[in-house]
A = this chain, B = another copy of it.
Amino acid sequence: MSTRDEVIDVDVGGHRLAATLVTPATQMPGVLFLHGWGGNRSQYVARARQVAALGCVCLTVSFRGHEATQELKESVTRDDSLQDVVAAFDTLAMHHLVDPSSIAVVGTSYGGYLGSILSSMRPVRWLALRAPAIYKDSEWTTPKSALRKMQDLDRYRRQRIAPADNHALAACAAFRGDVLVVESGRDTMIPHEVIENYREALKSSRSLTYRVLDEADHALSDPACSEAYTTLLVNWLTEMVAQHRTPDVDAQKLVRQGMKAKAGA
């Protein structure tokens, strides 16, 4: 097992002692949760705890215009939000417990759209999209809240859209990791055609898990649907993380056998 050194101060009654902290360089997967428009990090903390219990470090973040900065909601653009998402990814990737090459992005609606684009900017290994939204590429720095009317999104979201014509779909087309796509059967915001466009674009992904929650609306307002989604997500991440861990598990087994042999000597 590799280790890392860190020089720290020990405070003792006003004095500072130089100290070296040496820790095992244990690394685990990271999982970034991206909320939908109007949501915030709090919605994902319970899910994050379940996922962390699998042995992952989770980060849920509130975008600008949400939670403490509601006053910015009408002026926030997709460009702002994408910056937020990239900064959150980088924060997670730099965490000392996180293996930066093993990061899952879990996005809902607007967060799914942003997560898709993020996958073209940062090394996303696993991508979970629940009811991912979609927007035209134009008006990139126009406030997000103005897009629905300006881009006639209700109409746009019924169309067949080629990856070449949309940043998010282009990113999906280039994505080579594992993907989970979850559709709500009673979604009035994100019609089935949007999900089809994403699935079509994702044809180069290493694996695809596609599920429909038949009774669910866009927001998963029925607690049973919300729970069903959590179960889907946790099972999928469990499978992904278990595959990823196999070599480490073997290494750990060897270390433990070595320890037992030494202990018996």
Contact = CB atoms under 8 A, between A and B. Distances in A.
Contacts of A26: 26, 55
A62 interface: yes
Interface in A1-57: 1-3, 5, 8, 10-13, 15, 17-24, 26, 28, 41-42, 44-45, 48-49, 51-57
A95 B21 contact: yes
Nearest to A88: B10
A96 to B, nearest CB: 10
Interface residues on A, range: 35 or more
A53 B2 contact: yes
- Quick one: copies of this chain in the complex? 2
Given A12-B83, A263-B239, A55 B19 contact: no
B91 A59 contact: no
Contact of A87 (B12, B21, B55, B91): B12
A262 interface: yes
A21 to B, nearest CB: 5
Given A17-B62, A242-B259, 18 more contacts: A10-B87, A12-B88, A13-B87, A17-B64, A17-B87, A18-B61, A18-B68, A19-B41, A20-B41, A20-B59, A20-B60, A22-B48, A22-B51, A22-B60, A24-B53, A54-B259, A242-B262, A243-B263
